[in-house]
Amino acid sequence: MKNIISFQVCIFTALCSVFIVSCSEDSPVTSNEDPYQFDSARYDWTLYSNSNWLLDFNAFDTSNIFLLGTGNLLKYDGVNFTENYYNDQSFDPLSMGSYDKDNIYIGGNDRSVSVNNGKPRLKKWNGSTFNEITINDSTNRLYQIFCIEAINENEIWMGSTKGDLIHYDNGNFEFLRIDSTFFIRMFGTDETGNSYAVATKTVFDSLTFNFFNIYKKENNQWKWTLEYSDVYTGYDLNEISPSRIKTEISGFRNNNIVKYRNNTFQEIFQVRPIVPYPLTQLSDTSTNYFLLPGISGDRGFEFFHWNGTKWSREIDLSQMGIYSQIISKVENVDGKYFTLFQNGSNGMSMFGVGVIKNK
């Protein structure tokens, strides 16, 4: 792939595209401020930098990982990248969802200068080409497809930036409008397999308020189950930040892991004070092992790994001169860790792969 070049981290420059990170210390990593003794890194990390803004990825196995870019859909086979271009300058992608590697749905909106500007759009990757799926919304409203949950060809759910829950059934569309002031941010499940949608909004006044509602799907209808609001004061650890771990709706509160159970968020694992930084994502639904990124310093990130017994410190991006990152996803796929983050300062994205070290 022409815009990905290999190099060692010790010769880091601004033009480098791939970082290979490996901690070779045999002794635990210690901190003067924190008496906890971290294990040294358990994984070797390769970081791929790409000038194409990457938004999300779907991982089917370690040889079939598809990354959603603004200009193309990238396939990572464990070694190489393949670029599949949309060849559509009017398409502005934002979200993806799939039920297998030959049925990947990509949502966004139109950015042309025509009368279609701002209208929602949907494409499908069939394993070899992109097909356009026309969204038949008779209201002609302007919004983006913000999230997609693809279950099978007859049940594709989409969430919009104007509070729409959209059901696509092999050519037919059904629209449920909840509240136009909310984004439908994500779909997910609980531990028993019930399906939910999370809608969020932020209100800026003398204070900043965060709101989110959770809706449960019952017979293709969505029933409100939870309303939450809080004053946003920065990275306030008391706030709940909902996220999705694998398929489950989870989050963090007081830097501890919470899961959505019985129409509320329940704490399942205590992280604080071992990892004092604000937490953003989590790789696994199991609390026996997981990878956890936390924000340290001025938007620098560190990655920590829990193996059921002890924490290890994996990567400190700030030590590599990488700041202003937004961690958008981290996932465990067959024992390998994959993570995606965007660099807000230079508009580039990075895709990380962590492989367990040979002992």
Three-state secondary-structure class, residue 324:
coil
pLDDT (average), residues 136-142: 89
pLDDT (average), residues 236-256: 78
* CA distances for 172 relative to 8, 29, 125, 216, 301, angstroms: 51, 56, 18, 22, 43
pLDDT (average), residues 136-153: 94
**Position of tokens 């603004």?**
70
pLDDT (average), residues 48-65: 92
Query: What per-residue confidence (pLDDT) applies to 296?
Result: 63
Say if residues 77 and 1 touch (Cβ distance below 8 Å).
no
pLDDT (average), residues 165-186: 93
Query: What per-residue confidence (pLDDT) applies to 247?
Result: 87
Query: What per-residue confidence (pLDDT) applies to 306?
Result: 92
141-155, 168-182, 298-312, 320-334, range with the lowest pLDDT: 320-334
Instruction: Answer whether residue 131 shows pLDDT above 60.
Output: yes
Confidence label for 63 from pLDDT (cuts 50, 70 and 90): very high
pTM of the model: 0.87
Q: What are the tens digits of pLDDT across the range 8-37? A: 332 222 223 555 554 444 434 444 454 689
pLDDT cut 70: percent of the chain above it? 81
Query: What per-residue confidence (pLDDT) applies to 28?
Result: 42
Select the highest-mean-pLDDT range: 115-129, 308-322, 335-349: 115-129
- Amino acid, single-letter form, for residue 248: E
Comparing 284 with 46, the larger pLDDT belongs to 46
**List of residues 6+ apart from 213 with CB closer than 8 A:** 178, 179, 182, 198, 199, 224, 226, 227, 228
Token output for 329:
């996803």
In the predicted model, what is the mean pLDDT of the chain? 83
Confidence label for 184 from pLDDT (cuts 50, 70 and 90): very high
Comparing 300 with 227, the larger pLDDT belongs to 227
